Chain A
Amino acid sequence: MKINLSINGQKHEADVEPRLLLVHFIRDLAGLTGTHVGCETSICGACTILMNGKAVKSCAILAVQADGAEITTIEGLATNGQLHPVQEGFWECHGLQCGYCTPGMIMSACGLLKENPNPTEDQIRHGLEGNLCRCTGYQNIVDSVKYAANKIKAQTAKAD
């Protein structure tokens, strides 16, 4: 089946089997391997991307369901060599250790901050419930998202 989708602003057209999962389209056809495959059972969140602006697990979506969708992956966040505020937060606050869960964590945090730009600590933890980290623990990840929220707020205030 022929599908068209936009990943990080770039059009991708391909003839795919209906059973192809979106995460495999992103990694194997589009060659964007920043989106990780973790548990494969839609629990761990390593494969999280933004689909039409919402955080979703790309291992639990068929590529054909994403026909016509706008996808953002971790590769699409930085602009002109500048880290996205959420990426910068993970850098500054030591929000990662091995890094395997990180792309998914960052994309979930982006989805959360789009819905709620001023989350409380509880809301951050609730928003990241769908992402598992097995090494750093969650404290620094929560700090990273707080850093990002403040940075985005400062940027928006400056732009105004």
Chain B
Amino acid sequence: MIPTNFDYFAPTTIEEALKLLDKHGDDCKVLSGGHSLIPVLKLRLAAPAVVVDIGRIKELRTIKVDGDTIRIGANTTHAEITSNADLKKHCPLLCETAAQIGDQQVRNRGTIGGSLTHADPAADWPAAILALDAEIVARSGKGERVIKASDFFVDVMTSAVEPNEIVTEIRVPKPAQPNAAVYLKVPQSASGFAIVGVAAQLKIANGKCEDVSIGVTGLAPKAFRAASVEAALRGKAIDDATVSAAAAKADAEAADAMEDIHASGDYRRHLARVYARRAVQAAAARA
């Protein structure tokens, strides 16, 4: 499997990369780690005339804790996120999610910005990014725009990123209770993609749920916030009955459920409900 031919540019600054995007427009694809794009090129599902490799732009490969905001450069690999000491302390949900992506080799190359932009409906990052209420920064020749995670995923393999934009940074508000979080998934056994994955971030005081956010991936054409589960938990005591009743609404926001040879739509809905319950219980137990 060989990709079709293309012209290749490897700029070392964001400005240079954006100029290339403006020049080549729709004929252009952005390459970061390549673990979403290269398989697509090899299968010839895409045949861009130009590939702009942003992998050599060093300023996009950073992790910074800046006051109440964690800033992760788009080119940061899953492996770098898994093992980062600051993230382990301030937002272990990011590390736990990264560690469950694909396999060792994929984590060494794949990047958070690339994975998010690709918007695979079974990818792991969307669940965590939604549960953390993160923002994604996209830059074009005209300037910068900040997109909320809940507006970022548009449809299957479609994110809010425009063809003339590059994702530069993921901004995650520091969770109040970093440890009260979890990402659980049922992986498809060959690829490791989530058949269903649920990320939960809680804030608990005196046994009561002060706040909660839950991201669900794998179930619907785009990852989503399980708002009905969240509403059923907020302000309530975290006991088994409350959590079970809330988690039963985990597929309420999913108008359509994905179906394939690995799992039917109904089975995915069932998994979402079971994994939402387990995720909330596990996150509460860690608080």
Residues in A lying within 8 Å of B, measured CB to CB: 1, 17-19, 21, 40-43, 45, 48, 54-57, 60-62, 64-65, 67, 108, 111-112, 115, 126-132
Contacts and interface: CB of A to CB of B under 8 A. Distances in A.
A130 B5 contact: no
Interface string B1-44: 11111111010000000000000000000010011001101110
Contacts of A108: 104-105
Nearest to A43: B190
Nearest to A107: B105
Interface of B: 1-8, 10, 31, 34-35, 38-39, 41-43, 51, 53, 55, 79, 83, 102-106, 108-109, 190-192
Given A64-B10, A130-B103, A40 B1 contact: yes
A60 B109 CA distance: 9
A130 B104 contact: yes
Contacts of B31: 62, 65
Contacts of A60: 34-35, 38-39, 109
A43 B189 CA distance: 10
A54 B110 CA distance: 12
Given A40-B42, A42-B39, A61-B34, 11 more contacts: A1-B8, A18-B5, A18-B6, A19-B5, A43-B191, A57-B106, A62-B34, A64-B8, A64-B53, A130-B102, A130-B103
B6 to A, nearest CB: 6
B108 A62 contact: no
B105 A57 contact: yes
A19 B3 contact: yes
Contacts of B83: 115
A151 to B, nearest CB: 21
B5 A45 contact: no
Contacts of B106: 42, 57, 130
Contacts of B53: 62, 64-65
B35 A54 contact: no
A128 B102 CA distance: 11
A126 B2 CA distance: 30
Contact of A129 (B1, B6, B104): B104
Contacts of B2: 19, 21
Contacts of B34: 60-62, 65
A45 B103 contact: yes
B4 A129 contact: no
A54 B103 contact: no
A42 to B, nearest CB: 6
B51 A129 contact: no
